[in-house]
Amino acid sequence: MRQRPTVGNILLWLSAIAFAFLFPHFGLIPVLFAYSIPVLILLWLVLKRTKENFSSIGFNPKKLTLHSVLVGIAAGILLFAFLNYVFFPALNKFVLLPKANLADFNSIRHHFFNYLFVLSMGWLIGGWYEELVFHGFIFTRFEKILSKRYALTASFIVTNFLFGLYHFQLGTSGMINAFLAGCAYQALALRYKRNLWYAFFCHGFFDTIGLTFIYLGYW
């Protein structure tokens, strides 16, 4: 029988989730993507309190395999094609949505070195960091907090709803895209025994295609 977490742990987890969700948007550290450092330190300390670590929530180095690389990349390509050439074109026939706000990426348009830098950060922050924070830490904390009967489903929905909101700067279309992509990343990890390396490669390659489209001027 699963042991219920203490009130203290629940409050600590919820506080850590709020910090991880809000802090990156405050712009308090004047260095690009440096917000990830205090967030990761906090999550590491919170996990340590319950004798957990990054490996125990999905990023186990021993589970990094060629299969996770190939399946993740293939899934990223299929997901990108589905969302951009099937889902959103179909949705726009019923609801006219504004295009995602990509102003944050104007600096990489036809600028190769900026593109390479943002692409590398896309893998490190968009891929590894966001997967660890959302589909690793936040998802597993909600699973522990919520009733066992509904824990998996409710945690899945809440985590990816937050993941969509986290990308609010991209506008309505961008948040919907992030919600659906987040669901796909999470489902892929769950399909392979909660191995986040599958989600990491899917997320990273999905972002790679998008950033390349922006760099080349297609978006």
pLDDT of 4 reads 83
pLDDT at 95 over 80: yes
Percent of the residues in the chain that have a pLDDT greater than 90, as a whole number: 93
In a domain, 196, yes or no: yes
In a domain, 2, yes or no: no
Percent of the residues in the chain that have a pLDDT greater than 70, as a whole number: 99
Give the rounded distance of the alpha carbon of 113 from its chain centre: 25
pLDDT at 217 over 80: yes
In a domain, 100, yes or no: yes
pLDDT of 149 reads 84
pLDDT at 3 over 80: no
pLDDT at 125 over 70: yes
Mean pLDDT within 37-64: 97
Mean pLDDT within 74-100: 96
In a domain, 1, yes or no: no
Domain region containing 30 = 7-216
pLDDT of 75 reads 98
Give the pLDDT band (50/70/90) at residue 2. low
In a domain, 116, yes or no: yes
Q: Kind and range of the H or E element at 3?
A: none
pLDDT at 186 over 80: yes
Domain count, the chain: 1
pLDDT at 1 over 60: no
Contact between 172 and 164 under an 8 Å Cβ cutoff? The reply is: no
pLDDT of 32 reads 86
In a domain, 205, yes or no: yes
Calculate the average pLDDT of the chain: 95
pLDDT at 146 over 70: yes
pLDDT at 121 over 80: yes
In a domain, 33, yes or no: yes
Handedness of CA 16, 20, 24, 25 (dihedral sign): negative
Rounded CA-CA distance 206/73 in Å is 8
Q: Phi and psi for 184 in degrees, rounded to 5?
A: -65, -45
Of residues 154, 150, 133, 142, the one with CA closest to residue 196: 133
pLDDT of 103 reads 94
